[in-house]
Amino acid sequence: MSIAIPETIAAQYAAMVAEANALATEYRTQTGDEDARIAAFLESTDDENVVKVREWLATAIAKRAEIDAKIDEAKASLTEIGRENVSADYDAAAAEARFLPLRKEITTKRKLIEGLFGEDAFTALGVEEIISLKQRTTRTGSGDGKGAGVSRSSFSDVTVNGTSLAKPTPSEAAAFITKEFGKVTAGELRESLTAAHGDVSEKYGEVFSFSHTVTDKAGKSTVVNLTVTPTENIRRQPKSDETDNSGE
């Protein structure tokens, strides 16, 4: 059996709850995330100067979006014009099919000749070196900035602490390391490789070892050891003995 609470007691209790909630709300507002509080103030205030800046900013953002859209449209138009005017008659697949086995044959014969006449035989003859079928590109940056001079090598094999990865790419290595030890990007791994050995993009078949230090969220640092084997990897074809794993 319940007894009705007197109105005076109920009113006093309700007033106390309302006061406590008001204090809690004020406290949470005043001690919460500063950026959120600033944003809330700037969005709600009717201060004349703030209102003017808000209006200008909204207009500027809208104009920038319109300009960006026009820029993208112009770039797409130029790309299409370029595509229409670049000759598509050249049979690149046929050239690749001829070049790759030819290069392998040349490499085999060179090793045979060097074995018979010595490594200096070709120097005396002045025979040209085999050039890469695919033109290499190097990511450049201004001055000594991050990413300056980091080559975009392809690899036939990549290992992390002795484990050979199914997909031999810096992105796969970065994902493996991030999962096991701490956050790292493919670009950072390439930078460590370049810092240790320079540009290895044309050194097909050679194995290069380097290390990279990663730090997890708890602040623990781990030195990860990697090896990579550069390959030409024409047009991202599957790597095999018929393409770029022959070590030439």
Distance CA 187, CA 206 (A): 21
What pLDDT is attached to residue 16? 94
What pLDDT is attached to residue 23? 92
What pLDDT is attached to residue 63? 92
What pLDDT is attached to residue 112? 84
Host H or E run for residue 83? helix 48-85
Distance CA 209, CA 227 (A): 4
The per-residue pLDDT string of the chain (248 residues; one tens digit each, 9 = 90 and over) reads 578 888 898 899 999 999 999 998 888 877 777 787 788 888 889 999 999 999 999 999 999 999 999 999 999 899 888 877 776 677 777 888 888 888 888 888 888 887 887 777 766 666 677 776 665 544 444 444 444 445 567 898 999 999 999 999 999 999 999 999 999 999 999 999 999 988 887 788 889 999 999 988 888 899 999 999 988 754 444 444 333 433 33
Those residues with Cβ within 8 angstroms of residue 4's Cβ, 6 or more apart along the chain or in another chain: none
Count helices and strands (H / E) in the chain: 7, 6
Host H or E run for residue 186? helix 186-197
Is residue 193 classed as helix, strand or coil in its secondary structure?
helix
What pLDDT is attached to residue 218? 85
Distance CA 176, CA 167 (A): 11
Distance CA 199, CA 210 (A): 13
Host H or E run for residue 163? strand 163-164
